[in-house]
Amino acid sequence: MKKLAGLLSLLLMFTLVISACGTKSNSASSTENLTVKVGILKNVTHAPGFVALQNGYFQNGFGKNVKIEVTGFDNGSDFSTAMATNQIDIGFVGPGPAINQYLKSKNFRVISGSNNGGAVLIARKDAGIKSVKDLVGKTVAIPTKGSTNEISLRLLLQQEGLKVSTDTSGVQMITRAPADTLVAIRQKEVDATLIPEPWGTQMVEEGIGQVLVDWDKIPPNNGDYPLTLLLASDDFLKNHRDLAKKAIKANLDGINFIKENPTKAYDLVSAELKELSGKGMDAKLIKAALDHLKLTDEVNADAIKAMAKVSFDAGYIKGLKEDELDLSKFIDLSLLNEVKKEK
């Protein structure tokens, strides 16, 4: 009987050991052959993400078993579509296009801020524009329809009692990528632009443009509005919550590095920009961009609600009534708060 009890005890121990080994193996292999798809815009205003990628903050946080696949986007609309269709898992984008897409798909959310502000209103030097009111009858370029820059422009025009129109009775808006806008200003094809830095600074330095409204006077909230946010898909948050936290930490580390080592950051930003677009940028222009924004993980929910209202009024949000603009789950800073507490 004692022998039988002993055999049963050994068998039980053996079973527990095998079970423990299996659990350990499953845990260790949860990120085996995993590819995390990171999206980011080819804009210097995404500098914290650039630095986080260049300094290996994402890779170190995710671990050596995880492959990182970075996709650069020319505009926020393409990014948001890619996020909604699970072509990317996590990444950086402006609130305008993200809001518009979220209200359609509701399958991703904001998990951290990255920077606020960073856009300026530039008037072509010889266009006869001395104030915002002088934009009546003029053509103003924005990066894309529904972009954060368009929302800011519409708010600015509202403040001055101006309207957007397709004729000379109001302000005419056209879409141009920032690089194309620079050329259009040179060739006198557009009169003004609300554009992310450092494009505005470049126009001023070339002598073809002048600052009509500086970054810290652009609405909403006088430049202190979200321009770059860190987003994650619901699927990624559900399946890889721990990696989402690592991404948040990578973003925070990127912000802190820029604040503490601005000169070193210029080279890193230029290097990542070259990888994404094939062309780096002069340190002087990168400095101008970073000097004209506020690096922060904070997310101003009121500013985002104001942006959503502008998008709705402009007709970019369809199929909903104004009182159905529910953004209660769009911003989820619970993981950000956890990361901060763990520091």
d(CA 52, CA 187): 37
| Structural contact between residues 195 and 214, judged by C-beta atoms closer than 8 angstroms | no
Q: Is the dihedral of CA 142, 194, 320, 103 positive or negative?
A: positive
How would you write 40-76 as a 3-class SS string? EECCHHHHHHHHHHHCCHHHHHHCCCEEEEEEEECCH
pLDDT per residue as tens digits for the range 14-48: 444 444 444 433 333 467 789 999 999 999 999 99
d(CA 234, CA 237): 5
Architecture of domain 33-118+226-342: 3-Layer(aba) Sandwich (3.40)
Q: What pLDDT is attached to residue 33?
A: 86
- What lies within 8 Å, CB to CB, of 201 at 6+ separation is 120, 285, 288, 289, 292
The H or E element that residue 204 is part of is helix 199-206
Listed by start position, the domains of the chain span: 33-118+226-342, 119-217
Distances (CA, A) of 2 to 6, 14, 15, 71: 6, 18, 20, 66
Please give the mean pLDDT across all residues of the chain. 91
Q: What pLDDT is attached to residue 329?
A: 94
Ranges under pLDDT 70 in the chain: 1-30
pLDDT per residue as tens digits for the range 107-121: 999 999 999 999 999
Q: Are domains 33-118+226-342 and 119-217 of this chain identical in fold?
A: yes
CATH 3.40.190.10, applies to 119-217 = yes
